[in-house]
Amino acid sequence: VLEPDLPAFLSSVEGVVGATHVLTDPEVRAGHETDWTRRFVGRTPAVLRPGSVGEVQALVLLARRHQVSLVPQGGNTGLVGGATPLGGEVVLDLRRLDDLGPVDGPAGQVTVGAGVTLTALQDHAASAGLSFAVDLGARDTATVGGLVATNAGGLHVVRFGSMRAQVLGVEAVLGTGEVVRSNLTGLVKDNTGYDLPGLLCGSEGTLGVITSARVRLVPGVGPLLGALVGFASVTAAVEALPVLRSAPGLRALELMRAVDLRLVAGHLGIEPPLTPLPPAVVLLELEGPNDLVGALGAVLEALGPAVVASAVADGDRLAGLWRWREALPEVAAALGIVHKADVSLPVGALAAFEAAVETTIRAHSPSSTTLVYGHLGDGNLHVNVVGPGAADDGPVDAVLELVLELGGSVSAEHGVGRAKVAWAARQRGEVATTMLRAIKQALDPDGILNPGVVVG
């Protein structure tokens, strides 16, 4: 058995990436050692910034030779501690892999580097009259590598699916040091065996370092119309789902609660978006070419008295409606260290979950503040708990227990990271966990890629 030899590894890496891309300054490292929530704080001896797949491969081979563990990192916006070097690993910052390939118009696809930000990818697609289907609040910072590695969801899953539905091909350096290139030509139909791009989606840096991805693009965004639709309760909003879902051109179906919107109003120093503010507010967004005003009117009419208030908007005013939804994670973060449960539930259990979740949390942490919001159309709620100390997992554990009782998932879209390893194992069961471990062992036999993440 080889012993880890960090000094030997570090003395070789300059020869691969050049001295300017080996960052050891404590202040620079600090930004890579803590996650967005500030709940996960690790330490790293160095941050390495490779600029090509060849450099990534050379670093992984060196890491393997010297038995040094690596944590791949993109924008560091992940919310489950998956990109934090909690065990003193070396950080691989992949943001220099920022090539934007030419948009393949006839195929409606593009190949981009792992370090490209979501905004850059969206802008690139838009310059060719197309768009990229995934969108989320961290768009300016989150990278394609991170989005693939976490199988990110976001705001348009109800229309286009998650990241896995967009990824046709990937290039990655496996834990063995080998480079795998799978379907980078973007074949839509390719049944030659196991789906390797799909496997790397959601692998959270534990199987390979993603260096580029071939992704599907969708038609350019047409005219948009949005609305805040108020309901007397979350139960009423859930009961309205069949009608809300049938809205023509539906591309977002988000849930917010009055109690949390009041926190946003206080934080932003503005008046709540509806007066009086209904207990549950759904943000609905529709995309043309059809008569959106008529379509939205028909939806509101079909819902009848279930709708207790509504506000319709397009253009800048629609962006204003989105501000309410996108501010929620920021507001939670401004209140303190946030414990997050990103959960999905069978639609039939959503309202029962929401009704029980605060009591469940208060039983463990009576003075905590809880925010609940999320992607209603996907059955995905984000429970944010502020108050318990950074190491106090009690309240979130109780939430996840409730989720499993109700037949839900302990991670809907953020991944497992280091935060949810035991819970994910419990949810998937022994046979599936053994299968995941076998895959990990095959692709990263020395366990040098993101140890402790996903399968522990």
* Smaller CB separation from ligand FAD, 77 or 369: 77
* Smaller CB separation from ligand 2HG, 29 or 340: 340
Taking the complex as a whole, the smallest distance from the CB of residue 94 to ligand FAD amounts, in Å, to: 4
* Residues from 116 through 145 that contact ligand 2HG (CB under 6 A): 137
Which position among 113, 177, 197, 329 is part of the footprint of ligand 2HG (CB under 6 A)?
329
User: Does residue 382 interact with ligand 2HG by CB under 6 A?
Assistant: yes
Contact status, residue 352 vs residue 368, Cβ threshold 8 Å: no
* Residues from 328 through 387 that contact ligand FAD (CB under 6 A): 329
Distance CA 362, CA 356 (A): 10
* Smaller CB separation from ligand FAD, 260 or 307: 260
Beta-carbon-side half-sphere exposure of residue 222 (alpha carbons within 13 Å): 14
Taking the complex as a whole, the smallest distance from the CB of residue 176 to ligand 2HG amounts, in Å, to: 33
Taking the complex as a whole, the smallest distance from the CB of residue 65 to ligand 2HG amounts, in Å, to: 38
249 binds, among ligand FAD, ligand 2HG, none (CB under 5 to 8 A by kind): none
Distance CA 226, CA 318 (A): 6
Which position among 182, 384, 409, 411 is part of the footprint of ligand 2HG (CB under 6 A)?
384
User: Does residue 74 interact with ligand FAD by CB under 6 A?
Assistant: yes
H/E/C letters for each residue in the chain?
CCCCCHHHHHHHHHHHHCHHHEECCHHHHHHHHECCCCCCECCCCCEECCCCHHHHHHHHHHHHHCCCCEEEECCCCCCCCCCCCCCCCEEEECCCCCCECCCECCCCEEEEECCCEHHHHHHHHHHCCEECCCCCCCCCCCEHHHHHHHCCCCCCHHHHCCHHHCEEEEEEEECCCCEEEECCCCCCCCCCCCCHHHHHCCCCCCCEEEEEEEEECEECCCCEEEEEEEECCHHHHHHCHHHHHCCCCEEEEEEEEHHHHHHHHHHHCCCCCCCCCCCEEEEEEEECCCCHHHHHHHHHHHHHHHCCEEEEECHHHHHHHHHHHHHHHHHHHHHCCEEEEEEECCHHHHHHHHHHHHHHHHHHCCCCEEEEEEEHHHCEEEEEEECCCCCCCHHHHHHHHHHHHCCCECCCCCCCCCCCHHHHHHHHCHHHHHHHHHHHHHHCCCCCECCCCCCC
Contact status, residue 139 vs residue 77, Cβ threshold 8 Å: no
One-letter amino acid at 396 equals V
Taking the complex as a whole, the smallest distance from the CB of residue 206 to ligand FAD amounts, in Å, to: 8
* Smaller CB separation from ligand FAD, 333 or 356: 333
Distance CA 120, CA 23 (A): 25
* Smaller CB separation from ligand FAD, 13 or 149: 149
157 binds, among ligand FAD, ligand 2HG, none (CB under 5 to 8 A by kind): none
* Smaller CB separation from ligand FAD, 138 or 263: 138
Cα dihedral 287, 289, 294, 299, rounded to 10, equals -40
User: Does residue 82 interact with ligand FAD by CB under 6 A?
Assistant: yes
Taking the complex as a whole, the smallest distance from the CB of residue 449 to ligand 2HG amounts, in Å, to: 24
Which window, 293-301, 308-316, 412-420, 427-435, contacts ligand FAD (CB under 6 A)?
412-420
* Smaller CB separation from ligand FAD, 66 or 340: 340
Which window, 76-84, 227-235, 266-274, 436-444, contacts ligand FAD (CB under 6 A)?
76-84
197 binds, among ligand 2HG, ligand FAD, none (CB under 5 to 8 A by kind): none
Taking the complex as a whole, the smallest distance from the CB of residue 156 to ligand FAD amounts, in Å, to: 10
* Residues from 191 through 220 that contact ligand FAD (CB under 6 A): 204-205, 209-210
Taking the complex as a whole, the smallest distance from the CB of residue 235 to ligand FAD amounts, in Å, to: 24
Which position among 55, 171, 378, 413 is part of the footprint of ligand FAD (CB under 6 A)?
413
* Smaller CB separation from ligand FAD, 75 or 408: 75
Which position among 69, 76, 176, 344 is part of the footprint of ligand FAD (CB under 6 A)?
76
72 binds, among ligand FAD, ligand 2HG, none (CB under 5 to 8 A by kind): ligand FAD
* Smaller CB separation from ligand 2HG, 93 or 342: 342
Here the tokens at position 310 are 């509504």
Which residues contact ligand FAD (rule: CB under 6 A)? 36, 71-79, 82-83, 94, 114, 136-138, 142-143, 145-147, 149-150, 152-154, 204-205, 209-210, 329, 413-414, 417, 450, 453
